[in-house]
Amino acid sequence: MTTAREMDNEIDWSSLTFDYTPADINLRCHYSDGKWGEIEATRSQEVALPIAATCLQYGQEVFEGLKIFCGKDGKVRAFRMADNARRIKESAEALIMEPVPEEMFCEMVKKIVKLNARFIPPYGTGASLYIRPLQLGISPQIAVRHSTEFVFIMMASPVGPYFREGFCPTPICVTRRFDRVAPCGTGRWKVGGNYAYSLTAGKMAHDLGYSSVLYLDPREKRFLDECGPANFFAIKGNTYITPKSDSILPSITNMSFMQLARDMGLTVEQRQILLDELDEVDEAAACGTAAVASPISRIDDLDTGRSFVISPDNTPGPITTELYHRLRAIQYGEAADIHGWTTVIDLD
């Protein structure tokens, strides 16, 4: 972990990874007695909790992730923050937590960015300021019961690319040994508990030389679900295909790519995708806020020994590349934001 003091000296923006580098200030807001309190700004990296807090006892926690970019024009932009505000509200409601009002969420994003302006990576470095909002149930309970008090926290960290390899294809694997979530479970929400067991599956994949696990649907294990902490899409001819499933997180990046694909004249199909169909795709990638798009070279089925080679020459496909550059160009203010996805944040 890099400390803020170390950053006072000099930061090599282009060598940032996706590790946590705490910005100076984080924000907190408590909910109790039926209302949200004042937004507090603090330098503390700690949070005091009752040891019986429901977040600790029963995993009553939800979170989000979004990025802030310094553009070519020097303006600072948040990407689709209203969608993150809506999604954390839905996640909270799923766990009987008091939803954070969307206006409060957006106000806190603007505030944390202003207070940590020196951590916004300059244009041209490929880095960004990552914002991690999270909400915890903090009422003490021994019985399995939900909280009536909550804390909403927003923290920030400058980050570089998620994958060290950068925008180049990596192999992933399919295994039936692990499910990310249960059928009728919490897969469509960003609930911390979804990620605990995925750490085990992710480590297994990394140990075997894969960048992540491509999960199958947990009910039948026939259809593609998602790719570690990212959605999956493939290009087949002139069609963008991506799984439709109630056990995957509705990725904001994927939604953006679907729109950009339509803008490029592609047909977009959001539907069930059989594993066997991987034989017929021309390109495939994982997508999410962290990596934007991460092209896939090969998908190995660890249980059957079957291998789907997506990119024999190990280069990213042309459509994936175009989608990636179009999205990044909007985020960095290099291309017109015709869909109104960005919010300029005034730092004064």
Q: Contact positions toward ligand PLP, by CB under 6 A?
A: 65, 226, 229-231, 249, 251-254, 288-289
* Separation CA 60–CA 137 (nearest Å): 5
Tell me whether residue 143 is exposed, middle or buried, using C-beta atoms within 10 angstroms of its C-beta: 0 to 12, 13 to 18, 19 or more. Answer: exposed
Tally of CB atoms within 10 A around 199? 9
Q: ∠296-297-303 over CA atoms, to 5°?
A: 90
Q: Which of residues 141 and 194 has its CB atom nearest to ligand PLP in the complex?
A: 194
Q: Which is nearer to ligand PLP, 248 or 278 (CB)?
A: 248
CA distances from 29 to 64, 84, 105 (A): 16, 17, 10
Maximal C-alpha separation, the chain = 60
- CA torsion angle 53 54 55 56 (round to 10): 60
Shortest CB 1 distance to ligand PLP, Å: 21
Instruction: Give, as one character, the DSSP assignment of residue 117.
Output: G
CA-to-CA distance for 232 and 217, rounded, in angstroms?
Answer: 13
Q: How far apart are CA 134 and CA 95, in angstroms?
A: 13
Residue 128 C-beta: closest distance to ligand PLP, Å: 13
Judged by beta carbon, residue 187 or residue 317, the one nearer ligand PLP is 187
Question: Closest separation between CB of residue 81 and ligand PLP, Å?
Answer: 11
Q: Nearer Cβ to ligand PLP, position 127 or 252?
A: 252
Q: How far is the CB of 84 from ligand PLP (least distance, A)?
A: 7
When the beta carbons of 113 and 252 are compared against ligand PLP, the nearer one is: 252
Q: What minimum distance in Å lies between the beta carbon of 295 and ligand PLP?
A: 16
Contact (CB, 8 A) for 138 and 49:
yes
The CA distances from residue 254 to 99, 170, 244, 250, 259, in Å, are 24, 19, 12, 8, 9
Cβ proximity to ligand PLP: between 57 and 254 the closer is: 254
Q: Minimum distance from CB of 251 to ligand PLP (Å)? A: 3
- Choice between 88 and 108, CB closer to ligand PLP: 88
Q: Could you tell me the smallest distance in angstroms from the CB atom of residue 319 to ligand PLP?
A: 18
